Structures are given as C-alpha cells and as structure tokens.
Chain A
Amino acid sequence: MHPMRSWHFCVLALAGLLMGSPVWAEVGRLELGVPAAQADLTMGCLYPMTERAAIYGRDSIAGIQVALDELQARQQAGEPVPRLRVIIDDDQSKASYGVSLAKSFIHKDGVQVLCGMVSSGVALAVSQLARQEKVLMIGTDHASSRMTLENGHPYYFRVTNDTWTSMAAGARYLQALQKKTGWKRLAFIGPDYEYGHVSRDDLHAALNQLGVKFDDVIELWPRLYEPDYSPYITALEQSKPDIIVSAIWGGDFHAFVKQAAGSRLLETSRLANFDTGANFDFLVALGDKAPAGLILSARHHNNWPDTERNRSFVERFHRLNGRYPTYAAQGAYTGVMVLAKAFEKTGGVTDSQALIRALEGLEIALPEDPPGTYSRIDPVTHQIQQSQAIGSPVPTTAYPPAQLMLGDWSVYSAQELQLDSATLKRRLAARKPVDEP
C-alpha cells in the first residue's frame, strides 16, 4: 500500500478514536490504534464485512476499539501496556482473499500478529500461511477444534471457545435433558465446511464420551450462505428427530429458524445451537416470541456472567456504538487484551518466540469469566480454556431492542469441558505438515 494512503487511514482511524466512533462504514481496509511509527506491535486482523456475516466483522472492530480504549487509558495511567496499531480488512469469508490479505499484511504492512477470522475455512488457510511465514496468529472468532489440534502449530493461538468446548457443554446439557425427557432421536445440521463437520464430530465424540445413547437419524450439510433451507427442513421433518443440533451460524441461522418456524418442525423437535445460537443479533431477530424449545449458547453473553467486568465491557461497547455487542466483539477484544498481556509478560519484547512463550499458559481475567475464575491459554494446544453457559430465551427489556435474552442457565466450568487425555493425544498425533500452497 502507498505510504500516503496508509497515513491517511491512520488519521481517519485516530479521528474516529477521538470522536468515540470508529470508522467502519466503508467496506475495505481500516486502521485503528497508534500510527505505524509509534506502534510497539502491529496486528493485522481479517473479518467479513459484507454479506450475512458482516455483523461479526463490524462488532469485532468495535470490540477491538473497546480494547484499544482500555489500553490507552491504562497507558495514560502509567501501566506498561503496548501501543498497538491494528489493521483490519474484509476477507469476505473467502480463503483466497484471506490468504492474500494476510500475505499483504505481513510483507507490506509489517504486521507481527495476524488475528481475527470468523470462518474456519479462511482461518485454516491463513493459519497455514502463519506457520509458513512464522508469524504469530491469534484467532478470535472461528471455532473448528481442528485449528488447535490436528492443524495446530506453534504460531497459532485461539482466544474464544472452540467447537469442542461448545459441543462438550452441549453434550452435558443433552445428557441432563435425556434424563428428563428421554429423547432418543438426534439430528444434526451444519454448514458444509470445516466448522460444520468438526462441530458434528465434536458433538458425537462428547456424547459418546459421556455414554449418551442416541439414534443419529439424519445429518444435513447446507452450504454456507444457503439461500433456501426448505429441502433441509423437509428432510428434518421426515426424519422426526427429538433434538436438532444446529451448527449453522449468523444470518444463516436466522434464515433457517425463520423458515423452520413456518413449518411444523419446531412443534415436535427441540432446536439447539450450542456454539453461536445465542448471538445478540439472533436474539433481537426473535422479537418477543421464540419458537418453543430453543436451546442456545454462544461464546459470550451480554447478561452472563453478572460481573462488574462483563457489565463494564457491555456498557463500554454500548456507549461507543449505541448498541449491544454480539459475541464476536468480546472475541476480538480478547485477542487484543491477550496480546497486550503477553507483551507485558515479556517486558516489552516483541519477538514472536517470546510472545509465544508468554502466551502459553497465560492467565487473564475476561468479561466472560464467572466470578473467581480466569481464562487460561493451554500451553499445549494454544486454545483458551473458558466456561460455557447454555440457556433458553426469556423475556427481558434490559437490552433493547432485544425482547428476549437467555436465562435458565446451565453453566459448565472450563475444567469439565476439557478433552479427555486419550482423545487429545490422538488428535495431537495427527498433526503433520500440510501441503505448501
């Protein structure tokens, strides 16, 4: 990129920072934080800013802004936090665009840490690049457990719950539910890409690990951004499941539930989405009445845990943007805060290896940690370990325009959601070099 143009973006970003309103109305590249010359570290983040997943990109940028504001305040208070420069661009949920932009970040912008990515498909491709380029990568939103296990490598870290964590929590919820209702017939519908398939495998592994007996009546794989779910809903209706676990996310999940609500599917089957279903924009889209039997969770909830840290994060986000955050915001916020903490831990050393060592086993207090707990980055898998809460929609007026938020919580601690050692060993053993692009 031309230096003048880069400077122009920095000015725009700073202006946005000062006005308390980040600039993301335009599609394309965006820079936040300090100018290149003043930066201790430069992050290059990729998020979708167009199509159905655009809300994830917008909220991730806003989450980064909240983190940068917090760091700036701490810096002014004299704390040794890094001065960060964050470059953000739109990967359009395409692996090719993601890899291309990441290459550009590394070679043209001097990015030291790659971050972000909503789609696991994009993240897998960028993760390979990070490995080749020996550049640190902090995943903030994609969730395929393969990323930290079979496809894990020293340069890759993830700071939000992965499919294993969500599905392990979901399996425990379903186990308890089976004792109450005796459900037997399980259906799965997930997007036909890495995230969907790994979610299904993790759910089955977690259920089998718990000894839950069930009939796998149907598995369906609509594509990401599927325009019409009607054949899938018809197939689900015909298979008569008791429980449908969905790994469809974002706008796709809205579309699926909207279409399903027009059929009789949800009258006889309960729909669960353990990883992304409780996203704030979906709760808003439900209006004042949710289809019966929804079981939802997400990687962050605005109303859980009810801690000062979580309330503060949600309020700062709301103050900055005039709306409440989706879970992506807290993931992106965490990405920045984790890097800052690692920087502190190294005493200001920005070498990748030093940062990696600092990140391994790093403990940090985050908005989604219940009272008395911390999030911790596993030194082996580089996956952050956090609690997960699952609930169902209840009426509330506390987070307008949402008329429903989750309640009736079932909370699972980070410890009980760990992979068993045998599975961990097996999956880590599958790590091997991938083909060079």
Chain B
Amino acid sequence: MTLNASLHALLHWLARPHRSLVARYTLLSVFVMSIALITLAVLYEQLAKDLLNRLTGERLDAQALSTANRLSSFLDDRFYQLSALSNHPNMPDFIVDQSPLISDVDSLLKLEGDLPFMYGVLFFDEQDRLVKVLPGQSASGEPYWGSEHWSIAGLPVQKVGDVEVIGPLLPKAGGSGSFLIRKSVRSGRTNQRVRIALHLRLASLTELLVSAGMSGVVAPLLRVPGAAFVDPTGRQVKAPVQWHEGPVILPGWQLVFSVEPGAILKPLNDARWWLYWVAAGFIGFILVVFFTLSRQLRSRVSTLLQGAHQLSMGDLTYRLAQQPRDDEISHVARAFNVMAERLAQVMEKTVRTENLAVLGTFATGVAHEVRNPLATMKTTVQALLRREQEPQRRLLLSDLVQEIDRLSRVTNDLLEYGRPRPAMPREVAVAQLFAQTAHLVTPQMQARNIDFQCTAPPDLRVFIDPDQAQQVLLNLCLNALQASSEGQTVRLDAEQWQGRVRIVITDQGCGISAADLQNIRQPFFTLKARGTGLGLSISQQLLEANGARMEIASTLGEGTRVVLDCPAAANDTGDEHNS
C-alpha cells in the first residue's frame, strides 16, 4: 500500500461519520503530534550522523597532520640535540677522563640535562650496560639513584637513521613514563664504542597532543611500540574501542584518535529519549483526557437528548436539571429550558386563543339569541308582578325577575368574553383605583363582617385601562370575599417592584387546591355554586390586553394571594430608574 493510500485510509477512518466529534479532534491531535515526533526523530538522526562525520572527517585529518608535525618537530629537535652532543669533539675524552680540559662537556651536559623535557643523559657500552649517568633537573629514582633494577633489555628499538629510539618505558606505580634516543659517540682517541642517550619524558612528547582533542568526543592518543596507547599525560590507557588512525611520527609510533561519539552524543541521545517519553506521555494524557471528556460529554448530552425526547412526546412541563458547570452544555440546557418554557406558553396561549375564539363565537351567538327573549320575559314578568296581589305569587314572580337578571348578567359576561373591548390604557393612580374598588365592595364586606384593608402609595401610578382594571379588581375582591369567612381579612396592596407595579389581593379564606389551581383560569371552571366560571377568564383576558400578568398562589385552608404585575406609568418608571 502506498503512503498516499495509507494516509487516505487513515483520514477516511478518522472521518467516519459515527465517530464522535471529540474522538475525531483527539485522533487528529495524536496524529499531528506523532507526525511531528517522527519528523523530529528523523532530523535528529541525520544531524547526529552529520555531526559525527564532521568531527571525525576532514577537520580531524587536518588537525592530525598539524599535531603530528608538532610531535615530529619536537623529536627532530631532540635528534639534533643528541647529534650535537654525540659529535662534540671532547665527548670521547669525557667518557674516559674527567680532566679540567673537558669540563666544557660536563657543563654542556649538565645544562642540557636541566631542560624540562629530560630526566638526564645516559651513556651505554656496546653491551647496553650503563657506564655513566648524568641526572638532570627532573631526575628521580633509577637509574640516577641506583640502577640495580633498571635495564633497557627487551624494550622496543626503532631505528631512525643512525638514531635508536628505545622504549617507551611505560609508567609504573610511583614513576613516570620515558623513552630514550641513543646514538654512538664519535670516534676519539680511544677506540671505545660508547653510545650517548637522552632520557626524555614521555609526557613532554604526549602533552603536544592536547590541542588535537575535540570536546571529549575525539581524544588524541599515541600508539607506541608494544601495542600500547598513551594519553596526553603520558599514562598508558586501554585500547580504545573505536579509533581513527593518524600519521606515523616514528616507525611504530603513531598518532591515533579515540573516537567516543557517546561523549557528546549520549546527552543528546538521552535528551531525545526523554523527548520521546514526554511526547508519548502527552499522547497518553490526551487519550485519557479524551476518554474522560468523551464519557462526561456523552452522559451530559444524553440528558439533553432525554429532554428533547420528553418534549417531543408532548411533555411541555419537562425541564432539564441545573448543570453542575457553567459551560457550553449548561448554556444549551438553559436554552433548552427557555425554549421549552416559551413553547409551553405559546402552546397554552394558542390553545386558549382558539378556545376563546370558539367560545366567543358560541357565546355571542347564544347571548344574542338569549338576551332579547330575556328582556321580553323580564318585561312580561314585571307587568305580571305589578298586577298580582296575592303575596305567594308575587314572591314567585319576584324570584323569576331576579333569575332573569342573573341570566342577563351571564349573557353580558358571555358577550364581554366573546367580544372584549379593546384596552385603552392610560396613567391612573393606583390609590384612585383602590378607592373606587373599596367603594363598591366595602358594603358587602361589612355585610359579611369581613375586614377589608386597602393600602397604596399615594404617588404610585399604573399604565392601564381604568375601567378594565376596575373590573378586574372588583372581580378578584369579590372572589376573595366569597372565599372568606366572617371575621377574616381581605387585603388590597400595591407596590413599585422592578420598574413595574404589583397589586396584591390577599385573603385568609378557604384556599384553592393545587389541582384546581391548574384549571382555575379556564373559562366556565368555577368552584362556586352559582358562578359562571368566566370571572377569572375575563380578568385574565383583560390583564393580557393591558400588558399585565396574573399569578395566583394558594394554600388550601390558609388563603389565596393573587399578584397582578402591571406596567408602571412612564414617569414612575423614570423616577425609579433615576432613584
């Protein structure tokens, strides 16, 4: 499968329609992170390889040549020094004699011996036995202070022209490394074959390696005869695992570079693995977050789905529970509840409107048909009543007139309900409305020994049709009156509240059950024996026409409280805002 096809398949898999949105975003994040990580790893590998190549490549070769030149130059100087001493005209005599005549050789040798890279000057016979030792400034131990255990037998010897390079004598515990360069002393008066050797510090040669190193990655070493490796301090070190060969400075003496890429690359490698682990940790973290979020989201979305399902089943009273966090789901839930609330209101209003339309049409028809005969009947009965002398019949006729009047009122109510007069709101003092209402209901209250209290701020004004308001208040006060028993109180109060006017009618009467409260606004629903069931419906209708709302709260046996929420007069609202 080609890369493109694989990528396409992966994208297709990611875009599977049944996969949740969170899953898709998460998988995409993981995918992007993985791609970034793989790219980084590839780049790192390339960089590390390049770095190693640079460190051990051409630049190292150039350094190796330069270092080899320094070492060769040092040795050339020592060869020259040896040659000068071995060819000194008085040297043969010095070996066999120490007369003042050849004290210049003594001085010269002592001066040479004090050079910092030398331990001393040694003289050997043909059998490699030491015949003379001249310690220099750096001399210590054998062969200068005793030479029983000191010998050059078995040491590697390299010939460079007529000079022998002997050694090295590798460092032992308590001692330092050295090597000798030896040459035959020129022929003299005697036929003695003597060789002169400069005993040199090995470290003075290897210290010249120092500048060839590279940050611990490439360590310069000197490979000496005997397959030993010597570091810049002149110590023998283990053979490196990996090395780069440099120039040969003497037969058997070669510059090599121990290559330890780990020295510089190990921290980078460690960092890389840390990076991978951290990235894997992040991916794991993202997945954990995804699963947690996904589970929580699914659980909360299922609540929304259940709400929608309930709504679709017609349960307009269903509301979602308060969400634990103020987040997007919570906003959706609140919007859902608002939607459900408004939907219920719209539905209720629509149903009521339709009901009213039907009832209005019906009532108007009935009223028209009934009102005229009722008027005729009343006129007739009143005429009969005037001529009737017998008291029993007069009583019956009088009752008949009252029943006709009641039927007329019912008919009027039906007409009013069916064809409500348009509201003509204006500013009205609440106190004035209360006074008129009190004037109408007080006699009846007093007749039933019920205390009627009426309080309203004198400057409180309401924007409402005064006649319709009066009708509503009268209706509600009479309802309160009828629900109350002797000695109880009916209150009528008003107050400014949140830029509107609240009028509250309270009684201490029998109260309304919760079930009845649900239907109490329905037309023709009444709890009174002789009620028409239109009073509250008409009041509701009138209030809505005036932009007001009615809320009824009641407890059975304790009383009822009706709150009218009416628009305040413009000035009052302004005052309220200004205050």
A residues at B contact (CB < 8 Å): 93-97, 99-100, 119, 121-122, 124-125, 146, 150-151, 192-194, 196-198, 200-201, 204, 216, 218-225, 228, 230-232, 234-235, 430, 432, 434-437
Contacts and interface: CB of A to CB of B under 8 A. Distances in A.
Interface in B132-154: 132-141, 145-146
B114 A95 contact: yes
A410 B111 CA distance: 43
B214 to A, nearest CB: 13
Contacts of A93: 137
Interface stretch (B230-238, B435-443, B568-576): B230-238
A121 B231 contact: no
B372 interface: no
B203 A235 contact: no
Contact of A194 (B111, B134, B140, B203): B140
Contact of A231 (B176, B201, B210): B210
Contacts of B173: 216, 219
Most buried by B among A93, A95, A99: A95
A432 B201 CA distance: 26
Most buried by A among B98, B132, B140, B231: B140
Contacts of B174: 197, 200-201, 204, 219
Contact of B140 (A125, A197, A218, A234): A197
A330 B132 CA distance: 38
A216 B135 CA distance: 28
Given A121-B139, A231-B207, A434 B145 contact: yes
Most buried by B among A97, A151, A231, A435: A231
Contact of B137 (A95, A201, A216, A430): A95
A95 B107 contact: no
Interface string B336-361: 00000000000000000000000000
B93 to A, nearest CB: 16
A193 B138 contact: yes
A223 B110 contact: no
Nearest to A192: B176
Given A99-B110, A192-B176, A432-B146, A221 B234 contact: yes
Interface string B189-233: 000000000000101100100100000100000000000000111
A196 B134 CA distance: 19
Contacts of A151: 145
Given A125-B135, A221-B234, A97 B141 contact: no
A192 B114 contact: no
Contacts of B207: 228, 231
Contact of A121 (B132, B133, B137): B137
A223 B210 contact: no
A125 B203 CA distance: 24
Contacts of B203: 192, 221-223
Contacts of B107: 96, 100
Interface string B482-494: 0000000000000
A192 to B, nearest CB: 5
Contacts of B233: 220-222, 231-232, 235
B509 interface: no
A343 B63 CA distance: 64
B171 interface: yes
Given A124-B145, A221-B176, A235-B233, 12 more contacts: A124-B135, A124-B139, A150-B145, A193-B139, A193-B140, A218-B235, A221-B203, A223-B203, A228-B210, A231-B210, A232-B233, A435-B133
Interface string B90-125: 000000001000000011001101101100000000
27 contacts: A94-B114, A95-B113, A95-B137, A96-B111, A97-B114, A99-B110, A121-B138, A121-B139, A192-B176, A193-B138, A216-B173, A219-B174, A220-B235, A221-B203, A221-B233, A221-B234, A222-B233, A223-B203, A223-B204, A224-B116, A228-B210, A231-B210, A232-B233, A235-B231, A435-B133, A437-B110, A437-B134
B175 interface: yes
Contacts of B137: 93-95, 119, 121-122, 193, 224
A197 B173 CA distance: 10
Contact of A96 (B110, B116, B141, B234): B110
A47 B133 CA distance: 25
Contacts of B138: 121, 192-193, 223-224
B571 to A, nearest CB: 85
Contacts of A230: 210
Contacts of A222: 203, 233
A96 B146 contact: no
A225 B114 CA distance: 13
Contact of A225 (B116, B139, B146, B235): B116
Contacts of A232: 233
A381 to B, nearest CB: 16
Most buried by B among A93, A121, A222, A432: A121
Contacts of B135: 95, 121, 124-125
A295 B203 CA distance: 28
A196 B175 CA distance: 10
Contact of A223 (B116, B133, B139, B171): B116
A119 B412 CA distance: 140
Given A121-B137, A221-B203, A231 B132 contact: no
Nearest to A231: B232
A197 B175 contact: yes
A194 B139 contact: yes
A197 B210 contact: no
A298 to B, nearest CB: 22
A437 B110 CA distance: 9
Contacts of A231: 207, 210, 231-233
Nearest to B134: A437
Contacts of A150: 145-146
A60 B231 CA distance: 39
Nearest to A201: B174
Contacts of B132: 435
Contacts of A198: 140
A201 B176 CA distance: 13
A153 to B, nearest CB: 13
Most buried by A among B106, B116, B146, B232: B116
**Which 9 pairs show the lowest CB-CB distances between chains A and B?**
A96-B110, A221-B176, A231-B232, A94-B114, A194-B140, A197-B140, A193-B138, A121-B137, A96-B111
Nearest to A100: B107
A437 B204 CA distance: 26
Contacts of A95: 110, 113-114, 135-137
B113 A96 contact: yes
Contacts of B133: 435
Contacts of B139: 121, 124, 193-194
A234 to B, nearest CB: 8
Contacts of A200: 174
Contacts of A192: 138, 140, 176, 201, 203
B176 A96 contact: no
Contacts of A94: 111, 114, 137
Interface string B359-389: 0000000000000000000000000000000
B404 to A, nearest CB: 119
Nearest to A94: B114
B201 A223 contact: yes
Nearest to B106: A437
Interface in B378-407: none
Nearest to B138: A193
